[in-house]
A = this chain, B = another copy of it.
Amino acid sequence: MTESRLRIFTGNANPQLAHDIAGGLDMEVSAALVGAFRNGESRVRLDDNVRGCDVFIVQSTCMPVNHSLMELLFMIDAARRASAKKITAVVPYYGYAKQEKKTTGREPISAKLVANMIATAGADRLVAVDLHAPAIEGFFDIPVDHLRAAPLLVDHFKQEDLSDAVVVSPDAGGVLRANDFRQRIGVPLAIIAKQRPRPDEAEIMDMVGDVKGKTAILVDDLVSTGGTLTEAAAMLIDKGARRVWVAATHAAWVGSPAATEARKLLNNSWIERVVITDTIQVPPDQRNEKIQIVSVASLLGEAIMRIHKDLSVSALFH
């Protein structure tokens, strides 16, 4: 009887990350055709045998979001029908995570619909990084390994002198995340309490906490249009901050029609530095000296290997 073999596949959302993960494990990404027919339908064919294999499919559901998601689902379906032993959806960036509750009547809970889709397609497990709301883990009944990028980001920041730093949450919803971050480096907390009347709209209100003369580190899970953060940075400078840095996990502006504008906003802002991971790949032409990228490839590789070998993954949770 053959042993259960490890297979890593990638969709088109972030193939570089998949190759970096595989490379770190001294493996190749398995061969597959993942494209589209001329009629716009996704087209998937796994070229390596997966029968009885432990299959990991790496696919951030980043822009184009719906397309990335459907690619993931078709790949899962293909692996299931091809008798894979276990199918793990590795979704470094989980799109729709901000639509995890209804803000008014007659809305979908899109993050749950997505969870239902992934489970129905046949995934046996999900691996994700920094879900916008941790409760999304409970949207699944399959096991979820929810990894945190914070230790990687904190390590990066610790190369600097942080004695005068203050961690700032850019909104009321992010206080838990910012509080966790500031405890990791042992500095005070400040909070910008903006009001967000509708999703995707932002209105900065006021601030609690003291940033005068300090290095303010704005912590968020993702950078989208950049609007919130640049306004926050302006307020922080206005309140006397010495400089403003940003720490975030997901480069969610990438692929957006507003990407150019987002980059301009950041470039022209008071933000001195944006430290971000490669759960979504920032294309070379969108990088500049302000943007510093920390890779999650080794984190995900370690998780995949531990899952494959039935070792505890909890250690990577924190």
Binds B, one of A102-110, A233-241, A265-273, A287-295: A102-110
Query: Count of chain A residues with Cβ under 8 Å from any Cβ of B?
Result: 108
Establish whether residues A310 and B2, one from each chain, have CB atoms under 8 Å apart when the complex forms: yes
- Most interface-central of A2, A45, A122 (chain B CB within 10 A): A45
Q: Does A252 contact B (CB under 8 A)?
A: yes
How many copies of the polypeptide does the oligomer hold? 6
Interchain nearest-CB distance for A172 vs B (Å):
4
Residue numbers in B under 8 Å from A136 (CB-CB): 135, 138
Instruction: Encode contact with B along A169-197: 1 for CB under 8 Å, 0 otherwise.
Output: 00011011011000100001111010100
Residue numbers in B under 8 Å from A298 (CB-CB): none
Q: In this complex, what residue of B is CB-closest to A49?
A: B312
Q: Does A286 contact B (CB under 8 A)?
A: no
Instruction: Encode contact with B along A76-97: 1 for CB under 8 Å, 0 otherwise.
Output: 0111111101000000000110
Residue numbers in B under 8 Å from A27 (CB-CB): none
Binds B, one of A14-22, A64-72, A154-162, A213-221: A64-72
Instruction: Encode contact with B along A12-46: 1 for CB under 8 Å, 0 otherwise.
Output: 00000000000000000000000001111111111
Provide a sorted-by-A list of 5 A–B residue pairs whose CB atoms are within 8 angstroms: A2-B309, A41-B95, A49-B106, A82-B105, A191-B191
